A and B are shown apart, each in its own frame.
Chain A
Amino acid sequence: MAAAANPTKRLSKLLSSQSLFRRFSSTPEAQPTEKSLNLCSAVNQALHIALESDPKSYVFGEDVGFGGVFRCTVGLADRFGKARVFNTPLCEQGIVGFGIGLAAMGNRAIAEIQFADYIFPAFDQIVNEAAKFRYRSGNQFNCGGLTIRAPYGAVGHGGHYHSQSPEAFFCHVPGIKVVIPRSPYQAKGLLLSCIRDPNPVVFFEPKWLYRLAVEEVPEHDYMLPLSEAEVIREGSDLTMVGWGAQLAIMQEACRDAEKEGISCELIDLKTLLPWDKEMVEASVKKTGRLLISHEAPVTGGFGAEISASIVERCFSRLEAPVARVCGLDTPFPLVFEPFYMPTKNKILDAIRSTVNY
């Protein structure tokens, strides 16, 4: 085998040299002020705006007071005070349960779970409480002001408990929304939408991109629509669907495929629940082929849902089986991370075999 490729370096190069995210973003017409921001700062800016624009909004979670272990909440406690931005005890079920109660009283509760890997103690509060709060009361009560932020995904050295992508668990829960941004511009606009959406939302932040992804982000308050996917690269031979950090890898594969004369259309789903089936359907009807890629294990991943739905809707138009390039069906392994991951070349291989089916 050749020398070990350093995936962080590779991604970093990709992001900076080709200004991938700038090209991704559907930047609105000339904004007065824009600044180069990384994803972490974009989240931070969104939180500043959320707290500033609504006095009934709160930001809390483990270590949030000093700025959070990823520094996403830096400066908030100083500016808005400890009553609105605070550390919680180390208890995820408590964080989400508290957030539900706060939201049910008409507030915007912006809860941070330190890592998506640690969201599971709060699973009951999310699945049985937040998701059913409106339905079970006949809409007398709701906790729509609740937004749960959690950094998710691989970083190169996170092992079992600092790497997971648990989005599919939450996509099985009617009553909550699941949103994942791909870039700083998207992160800010989508997070503000989530915070202001009248439904509880789980917002997974691709922590690999916190510092790596940099793009121009307007300083003002703006929102990006939920449940609307976006074609971030147009193509005619194959539709590719992804979200979050994986899109950067998929974009790279699209470029390499193009050199071989294969034209890929890349869609950022952005909101996984409820998701924009129509856009994916329209694209697959055009290309006749579909590839889905995510970091989470392939079995029972959200790719399975997309695949099933598209087969239902586009069966007669499909020219090849739907391809899934995903994480393996193992726990997330430290030393084997490069083997576990849905790499560019795995995607490229799948693109070729789908197109040549």
Chain B
Amino acid sequence: MAMSWNSRRVIGAVKRVTPQWKSIVARKQGDLLPTLRLFPFPFIGDGSDGVFPRRFQSTEAEKMLELSADRSLEFPGGKVTFVSSMNFLAEASAERVHCYRTLDESGQPLMSSKFLEVSEEVAVRMYTAMVTLSQMDSIFYEAQRQGRISFYVTSIGEEAINIASAAALTDDDLIVPQYREPGVLLWRGFSLQEFANQCFSNKADYGKGRQMPVHYGSNKLNYFTVASTIASQLPHAVGAAYSLKMDKRDACVVTYFGDGGSSEGDFHAALNFAAVMDAPVIFICRNNGWAISTPTSDQFRSDGVVVRGQAYGVRSIRVDGNDALAVYSAVQSAREMAISEQRPILIEALTYRAGHHTTSDDSTKYRPADEIQLWRTSGDPVTRFRKWIECNGWWNNAAENELRSNTRQQILNAIQVAEKVEKPPVADLFTDVYDVPPPNLQEQERLLRETILRHPADYPENVPF
């Protein structure tokens, strides 16, 4: 290891060690001494100059060194300064990391708030997409309740993160999603029909009906296919970003995850890899307070997720996730830094999962109804953004009514069409396991077809033979 030892001055610190410590160290000295021989340097690694038994051995020689040395150590990673006081880093700073916000709950810009310009056209488009997303959610959710689709996940309460982050990016930026960011796809032009086709597992679904509803993906729109597995996408995002870097592309990767996902090993691997590889990737954590029934107080004791960035050497910001303008500004700035400086950025967006976890969940079992109600009303990101564009004179009731009735009709149409389209054919069961079906699958397909012919009643008739 290339390391130069500039200072023995620390040794002099012994004199200032409190008597209690002296006695503890002295008692333990016998235990620690043999271990010390393993270290090539008279230094125990953590930089705190408290427990160092050898300093008790030869005070005269050490005193001399103390006079001639400076107060730092050249250690891999840079100069480390020695101090005589034994300070443990606190588990948390006195105040929580601040949260960047531009608009208050009533849609009024905060005093001296700084945000990037958003044109009327973009703002209206953003609002339209937020409303469309929430309408799609309520109609698809109902469709699941009626048994027309098997499962659904809403993004209710997280429309601003979905849409504003998407709006701040270019279509060249690759999206590596979790499952609660369909708004990014919507923004990029995934049609209501395409959403419906996936949820109804029909033959027009790009995933060929193989995955559960909401597991969207679009190669055309630069959006990796969703998997149910938590946090497994995060290292993929870093690898993809490294590719963009090597190809010198003017683009970055943006990956999303939840507060729960930040506990998985993959999250930690991804942040560390991103930092070490100088990868142009933006990690967007949707800290919505809940991972199914698990509150963040059972998930982590750090100040949320934003503080993890610094531990890995990743620049980070906390943003009000229900403030579309703040999300937009933060993501666009992050993108600028990620690409121009070729570095990862972590964004923690504070928000609330205002819906149930999925259609399999009843969140009133584990959280108070008034908490949900509060976030659905005064905390609602869609209403807040609407107030802002209304104040700007860009939106009014007439526009609102027209938008809502039009999109509602479009979504209902999309569902009706999707429902009638037949399922993918049996052949699609065997393709894409590999690039071409190997002999075992060819044989299994042949045998399956014979079985279907023998026992047609066992098989759904809407799956073409």
Which residues on A are within 8 Å of B, measured CB to CB? 1-5, 62-63, 65-67, 69, 86-94, 117-118, 121, 157-162, 298-299, 328-331, 333-336, 338-340, 343, 345-346, 349
Inter-chain contact A1/B230, CB cutoff 8 Å = no
Q: Add 5 more A-B contacts to A89-B263, A90-B260 (CB < 8 A).
A: A1-B452, A4-B460, A88-B298, A91-B265, A118-B229
Q: Which residues of B contact A349 (CB under 8 A)?
A: 451, 454
Inter-chain contact B298/A87, CB cutoff 8 Å = yes
Known: A121-B264, A159-B215, A335-B210. A90 touches B229 (CB 8 A): no
| A/B interface sample: 13 pairs, CB < 8 A | A3-B461, A69-B361, A89-B260, A90-B261, A118-B229, A157-B212, A159-B228, A328-B430, A335-B463, A336-B210, A338-B460, A345-B454, A349-B454
Among A5, A93, A159, A334, which residue has its beta carbon within 8 angstroms of that of B458?
Answer: A5
- Which secondary structure dominates where chain B touches chain A? loop
Inter-chain contact B265/A69, CB cutoff 8 Å = no
Does B426 lie at the interface of the complex (its beta carbon under 8 Å from any beta carbon of A)? yes
Inter-chain contact A334/B209, CB cutoff 8 Å = yes
Which residues on B are within 8 Å of A, measured CB to CB? 150-151, 201, 208-212, 215, 227-231, 260-261, 263-266, 291-294, 298-300, 360-361, 365-366, 423-424, 426, 428-430, 433, 440-441, 444, 448, 451-452, 454-463, 465
B204: min CB distance to chain A, Å: 12
Question: Which residue on chain A has the smallest CB distance to residue B260?
Answer: A90
Q: Which residues of B contact A160 (CB under 8 A)?
A: 210-212, 227-228
Among B212, B366, B424, B456, which residue has its beta carbon within 8 angstroms of that of A159?
Answer: B212
Among A86, A90, A335, which residue has its beta carbon within 8 angstroms of that of B424?
Answer: A335
Inter-chain contact B448/A328, CB cutoff 8 Å = yes
Known: A159-B211, A336-B210, A338-B460. A94 touches B454 (CB 8 A): no
Inter-chain contact B429/A333, CB cutoff 8 Å = yes
Question: Which residue on chain B has the smallest CB distance to residue A118?
Answer: B229
Inter-chain contact B210/A333, CB cutoff 8 Å = yes
A298 to B448, CA, bound (A): 14
Inter-chain contact B210/A65, CB cutoff 8 Å = no
A246: min CB distance to chain B, Å: 16
Inter-chain contact A66/B201, CB cutoff 8 Å = no
Q: Which residues of A contact B457 (CB under 8 A)?
A: 1-3, 5
Q: Which residues of A contact B300 (CB under 8 A)?
A: 89
A236 to B461, CA, bound (A): 37
Known: A90-B263, A161-B229. A339 touches B426 (CB 8 A): yes
Among A90, A329, A339, which residue has its beta carbon within 8 angstroms of that of B299?
Answer: A90
Inter-chain contact A162/B228, CB cutoff 8 Å = yes
Q: Which residues of A contact B459 (CB under 8 A)?
A: 1, 4-5, 338-339
Inter-chain contact A335/B201, CB cutoff 8 Å = yes
A160 to B207, CA, bound (A): 12
Inter-chain contact B212/A90, CB cutoff 8 Å = no
A273: min CB distance to chain B, Å: 25
Known: A5-B458, A162-B212. A346 touches B451 (CB 8 A): yes
Inter-chain contact A89/B452, CB cutoff 8 Å = no
Q: Which residues of B contact A121 (CB under 8 A)?
A: 264-266
Question: Which residue on chain A has the smallest CB distance to residue B453?
Answer: A1
Among B230, B293, B361, which residue has its beta carbon within 8 angstroms of that of A65?
Answer: B293
Question: Which residue on chain A has the smallest CB distance to residue B451?
Answer: A346
Q: Which residues of A contact B231 (CB under 8 A)?
A: 90
Question: Which residue on chain A has the smallest CB distance to residue B443?
Answer: A329
Inter-chain contact B426/A336, CB cutoff 8 Å = yes
Inter-chain contact B298/A65, CB cutoff 8 Å = yes
Inter-chain contact B298/A2, CB cutoff 8 Å = no
Q: Which residues of B contact A335 (CB under 8 A)?
A: 201, 208-210, 423-424, 463
Inter-chain contact A328/B227, CB cutoff 8 Å = no
